[in-house]
Amino acid sequence: MGYDHTCNDPAMLYRVETMPGLGWLLKRRLYKEELEPKWPTPDLFWDWDMWMRMDSNKKGRECIIPDISRTYHFGAKGLNMNVFFQESYFKKHTLNTEPNVKFNVGLLKKENYEKEIERLVGLAEPLDHSKNPCKNEKDFVPETSDKTYIFYIEMKHANDWTTWNNIARCLRIWDLDARGFHKSMWRLWLKGNHVLIVGSPASPYAKHKPINVKPIFINYLKTNLPLILSLCPILLGLLK
């Protein structure tokens, strides 16, 4: 998820269903043959990154992203950016400074990645689901190190973001829309521990949920009034 407090391993890679939006690479053939012919023209007021995230362009494909980012968003002024937005969502992103990092790219192939996720979910220790990660932020994740934990959140279908949006807000990560997931599951680091967040029953990995564990459901929304006000010029621009 890219923030100072949610990443840990410069050699770790994830498969995610959403295009990250900053630094990225793709095959020339994909761009020339598929994307360029239908790329939004200047007369269309559309952000290219949001356009790239449309299902009609994704076509079920995934992106590979590193646990620790290799790019950093430093602009605080622009068409869809202001100082408050930069401070709230981008300033606390981590930037990798370790050279010569070796990636296990083979692990990211579809079949291998599924085996790895199944392995992680199988060995992960369930967190205490009687606790609310928003109300028990300090002790929801134990004071351990390099352990793998898992918790399940209520997610009735693939587009049910009610609980996730609140979890993301409480974890102080991107919460304006749902990103960084793979089959309704998120991976991040908290307190130096690898944590898996699985949407249940939407995710196929929810089959590992113990019978006595009830998925966490959070049905309230803590509004961020300063942020909403700061976004008003941006939202008005999009409506023009």
Of 4, 9, 47, 49, which is the active-site residue? 49
Q: Are 237 and 79 in contact (CB under 8 A)?
A: yes
Q: Are 182 and 117 in contact (CB under 8 A)?
A: yes
3-state secondary structure of 199: strand
User: How far is it, in rounded angstroms, from Cα 53 to Cα 57?
Assistant: 7
User: How far is it, in rounded angstroms, from Cα 149 to Cα 116?
Assistant: 15
Angle made by CA atoms 162, 163, 164, in degrees to the nearest 5: 95
Closest CA to 26 of 35, 18, 17: 35
3-state secondary structure of 164: helix
Point out which residues pair with 3 in neighbouring strands: 93
User: How far is it, in rounded angstroms, from Cα 116 to Cα 122?
Assistant: 10
Q: Is-catalytic flag, 47?
A: no
Closest CA to 129 of 138, 140, 115: 140
Helices (H), 2-78: 28-30, 48-52, 55-58
Q: Which two tokens stand for residue 49?
A: 């990154």
Residues annotated as catalytic (active site), given as ranges: 49
